[in-house]
Structure 1
Amino acid sequence: MNAPAAQDYQEELADFRVTYSRAGCITSIVLVLGGVGLDLSSYPAYWREFLAARVGVALATAFIFGLLFTGFGRRHVRVLTMVWLLLPQAMIAGMIQQTDGVESIYFVGLHLALYAVGIILPISFFESVSFGLVTLGLYLLACVFNANDVMHTGMLTTNALFILFSAAAAAVCTWFNERARLRLFSLQREVRAKNASLVEINQTLTEVKGQLVHREKMAAIGTLSAGLLHELNNPVNFSLMAIDMGRQLPAAQQDPMLAESLADAREGLVRIQNIVTDLKTFAYQKPGGDSLRPFLFENAVRSAVRLAGFDLKDVAVRLDLPQDTHVLGDEPALIGVMINLLSNAAHAVRVAQRDKPEVVVKAVIEGDRMHVTVRDNGQGILPENLERVFEPFFTTRDVGSGLGLGLSISYGIVQRHGGTLSVRSEHGAWTEFHFDLGRPV
C-alpha cells in the first residue's frame, strides 16, 4: 500500500476504532456491574468490597467513554482502548488474589475478555499479544500473592497455559481480522476509484453525445438548406429586378402610395435574400484548410466592431488583446463570427437595461492556440436554454427579430478552424462565449 493509501487507511481505521471502542466501553460497564450476581452466589462475604471495585471500574470506563467523543480521545483511541480493557482484568486479578487464588472461579473472566478482544475489537496483532501477556502476568501475580498462601503448582501451570492458549487464539483472530480490514479497505478504495472513473466516463460520453447530436442537426439543416437555395434565390433576384424596374416607371414616381408599396416589397425581398445568404453560408461550409491564412485577429475584431456599430450604439466595447494577435484562419468568416457575438451581446445588455452596458473582448495565448472570450453584462441565459443556443433556428428573441441561425453558423465556422464555440452564463448577470483559434507555426 502506497503512502497516501496507508494514510487514508489509518484515518478510516481511527473512526472504526473509536466506534468499536465506545461500544466496547458500554459492554464492559454492563458486564462488570452485572458480575455482582456472581459475587453474591460465589463469594457472598466479599460482595460489598467487590461491588465497590466494580463501581470504580465502571466509573473509570465511563470516563474513558466520554473522552472518546473528544479530539483527544480520537487521537489516543488505541491507548485509551487498552486502558479500559485492562481495568476489568486488573479487577478480576484482585478478586482472584483475595479469594481462592488458583482455584478461583474468576479465572474464567480473564478468558472471556481475551476472546472478546481477539474476535470483536479492531486492535493490532502486537496489541493483542501484549494484552494476553499482561493478563497472564496479572493472573500469576494474583496467585502468588493469594491470601491463602496455598500454591497448587500443577493447577497454576495448567491455568497459565490455558491463558496462553486463549491469548494465542485471540492474537491469531486479531491478525486475520486486521488482514480482512485491510483487504476490505483496499476493495472499497478500488470501488470508489472505479466509480469516480465511471462518473468521468459518463460525463465524457454525455459531452460526446451532445456534440454528435449537434453535428447531426447541423448536417440535417445543411442538407435541407442546400436543396432550397436554388429554388429560393432565383425567384428572389428576379422579383427584386422587377421591383427596381417598376420603381423607375412614371406611375410609381407620381403615386406616393404605389412607391411606398414597392419600397416595402423590396425591403421584404432583401430580407429574404439575407436569409438565403445565411443559409448558403451554413449549407456550404466545409472543413478544410484551403481558406486558412495568417492574419491579425485584432484587425478582424476592430472590423467587426465597426460593422456592428449600429447594434453597439451606446454600448462600451473594451478590448483586452495581447500584443501579437496573429492567428491562422478564414478572416472574413471569423469577422462574421465576431459580428454575430457582438450583436447578440448588444441585444442582451439592451434588454437588461444596464446603467453601464459593456462588452469585453479578451484574447489569451496558450501554447499554439489563442483563446477568445466575448463577455457582456446583459440579462444572461436561462439554464434550460444553455444547451440549445447553438441549435439551428433556436432563438429567444421575438418573432421577426432573428432567424436563429447566427450562433449555429458561428459554431460551424469555429469548428472548421479546429476549435469549439462554447457558452457560460449566469441568468440575470452575464454571458460569456469562448472559442479558440490556431496560431501560425
Structure 2
Amino acid sequence: MTTSLAGLHSNYREELRDYRLLCSKAGGLTVIALVLMGVALDYVVYPAEQARFAIVRVLTSAAIGLALLSLYTKTGKRQVQVITFLWLLLPQAMISWMIYVTQGEESLFYAGLMLTIFAVGILFPSGYRQTLAFGLATVCLYYIACRAHPDGIRNPSKFQFQLILIFFCALASSIYTFFNEKGRFQLFRLKDELAHKNEQLARTNESLAQIKGQLLQQEKMAAIGTLSAGLLHEVNNPVNFCLMAIEIAMEEPQAQDSPSMLECLTDVKQGMQRIQHIVSDLKTFAYRKPGAAADDVPFLFEKALDSSTRLSAHELRGVKLTRELPGDTLVLGDEAAIIGVLINLFSNAALAMHKAGTVSPQIHVTAQWHDDRLHVNVRDNGPGIAAENLARVFEPFFTTREVGQGLGLGLSISYAVVERHGGTLFAESELGKWTAFNFDLPRVE
C-alpha cells in the first residue's frame, strides 16, 4: 500500500530539508570563494576602489560564514530556508552598495545581480516563492542603489532597461524553480513507489518461500502417509503373527526351564512391540490428502510427544530426553503437524549438540497451562545460537548447516504450523550454554 498524499508530502519535506541544508553549506562556501575572488573584477573595473571593496568583500564573506555556522545548530537546521535566504541577500546587498558608490545605472556590476538570481534558481532547491521573493528583493536593492546615487539617475532609459532585465531574470528563475520543484517531487514520488514495490516484492518472495516450504512439507507428509498406509497392511499383520508365536513359545516348558531362552524371547517380544509402536505412530500421517490441512481435533500432547520421541530416536541417540508435563495435556489441533514440529526441534537440537561435542547432551520438555493454552518449552544444553542468528532462525532458507544438509525450511514451517494453531514459536538462547524453543497450543473447550 503506497503512502498517502499527505504522508508523501511530509516525507518529501523532511528529505528536502536535509538536501537544502547540504546545498546551503556547499553553496555558502562557493559564494564566499566567489566574493573574495571578485577582487580581480575590482582591479579591472574600479582599481581606485579596490582597497575599500576588498574590506567589504571580507566582511560579507565573514557574515556568510557566520550564517553557515548557525546551520550546525538545531535552530539553524529547522530554519535552513530562512537562513539561506538571508545570507544569499548579503552578496546582493554588497553588489548594490558597490553600484551605489560607483556609477549607479552605468555600473557593470548589475550583471552580478542577475548571475546570482539565476544561480539561486538553478543550483539551490528553493521553492518558487522563495526564488521570486529573492529576485524582487534584488530588484528593490538595485532600485535603491541607483536612486540613492549621489548624482541620481543620469540615464533613465538605461536604468529602466536594466531594472526590467533584472525583474525578467527573477521571473524566469522562479518559473524554472517551479517546474524544477515539481520534477523533484515527481522523482521523490517515483522513488517512494519503487521502495514500496520493493517491499511488496520482498514480502511476495517471502510468501513464495513459505509456500514452497509448505508444499515440500506436504509432499513429505503425503509420502509418509502413503508409506504408513502400506505399513499398516504389510508390517502390522506379520508383527501380530510374530507376537502370537512369541507368546506361545514363552509358554512352552522348554522356554520356562531355560532362563536364557526366556530372556531372548522377551527381548524379541519387546523389539516387535517397538515395531508396533512405530507403525502406530506412523498411522497419524496415513490417509492424509496431499496439499490439504487436517481439521483441528482433540489430541493428547503427551501422546504426540511420545510419537515424536520414537520417530526421532535415530537422531536422539546418546541424548537424554526428559519431560515435565501436567496431568491433563488434551489440546486442539493437527496432531501430525505438531509431531512434525517436535521432531524438527529434537533433530535440530540433537544435531547441534552432536556437532559441538556437548558433554552429556540433554533435552528437557516442559508444558504448563496458562490462560487456556498449553505452553511448551523445549530446552537443550547445547552450544546455543549466536545473537545475530537468533532473530533469523525462522526465515525461510536460513541455515547454518553445510551445503546439502538442509534447506533451512524446518523452523520456518514449524513457525507457520504453530501460528496456524493461534500460537507463537519463538527462540531463546545463551551462547555456549543452552537453547530453548517455546510454543503454545489451545485447550479443548
TM-score of the alignment, normalized to the shorter chain, above 0.5: yes
Unpaired stretches in structure 1, ≥5 consecutive residues: 366-370, 389-406
Matched with 2:438 is 432
Instruction: Determine the C-alpha separation between the residues in 2 that align with 1:2 and 1:274.
Output: 64
- 1:227: Cα distance to partner? 2.3
Cα shift at 1:102: 0.6
TM value normalised by structure 2: 0.76
Q: Are 1:144 and 2:151 matched, yes or no?
A: no
367, 373, 376: which one aligns with 2:375: 373
Q: Deviations over 1:242-265 (max 9, x none)?
A: 111111111111111111111111
- What are the Cα deviations for residues 352-373 of structure 1, in whole angstroms up to 9, with x where unaligned? 669xx772334556xxxxx543
Q: Report if the CA contact (8 A) 1:132-1:164 is conserved.
A: yes
Is the Cα–Cα contact under 8 Å of residues 386 and 423 in structure 1 kept in the other structure?
A: no
2:269 maps to which residue?
266
Q: What displacement does 1:283 show? A: 1.6
Partner of 1:62: 65
2:187 is matched with which residue? 184
Preserved contact between residue 424 and residue 432 of structure 1 (Cα < 8 Å): yes
**Are residues 256 and 289 of structure 1, via their aligned partners in 2, closer, same or farther at CA, if it must alter by over 3 Å?**
closer
Q: Matches of 1:43 and 1:432 in 2, distance apart?
A: 85
Out of 372-381 and 125-134, give the one that drifted further.
372-381
Q: Aligned pair 1:200/2:203, yes or no?
A: yes
Q: In the alignment, which residue of structure 1 is the partner of 2:11?
A: 8
Q: Over the residues paired in the alignment, what is the CA RMSD in angstroms? A: 4.2
The DSSP-based 3-state class of the residue aligned with 2:150 is coil
The CA deviation string for residues 89-146 of structure 1, in whole angstroms up to 9 with x for no partner, is 0000010011111111111100100111111111111111111111011111111122
- The residue that corresponds to 2:356 in the other structure is none
TM-score normalised by L of structure 1: 0.76
Determine if contact 2:70/2:76 at 8 Å carries over to the other structure.
Answer: yes
Q: Report how far residue 419 of structure 1 moved.
A: 4.1
The answer (yes or no) to whether the contact 1:423–1:432 under 8 Å persists in 2 is yes
Percent of residue pairs identical: 38
1:304-346 CA distance string (max 9 Å, x none): 99999xxx99865469x9xxx998779xx69x969x79x979x
The alpha-carbon distance between structure 1 residues 353 and 225, as it changes in their structure 2 partners (threshold 3 A), is closer
Structure 2: how far apart are the matches of 1:125 and 1:352?
72
CA shift, 1:88, in A, is 0.3
The reply to whether residue 361 of structure 1 matches residue 368 of structure 2 is yes
Structure 2 residue aligned with 1:124: 127
Task: Pick closer, same or farther for the CA change 1:184–1:306 going to 2, 3 Å.
Answer: closer
Separation in 2 of the partners of 1:15 and 1:353? 56
Report Cα offsets for 1:212-266 as digits up to 9, x if no partner: 1100111012112322332211221111111111111111111111111111111
1:257 alignment partner AA = S
Structure 2: runs of 5+ lacking an equivalent: 309-319, 351-358, 396-409
Tell me, in whole angstroms, the C-alpha distance in 1 between the residues paired with 2:20 and 2:393. 49
Partner SS state of residue 433, structure 1: strand
For residue 174 of structure 1, what is the aligned residue in structure 2? 177
1:58 Cα shift? 1.0
CA distance in 1, matches of 2:43, 2:393: 79
Count of residues paired in the alignment: 393
Q: Report if aligned partners of 2:305, 2:339 keep a CA contact under 8 Å in 1.
A: no
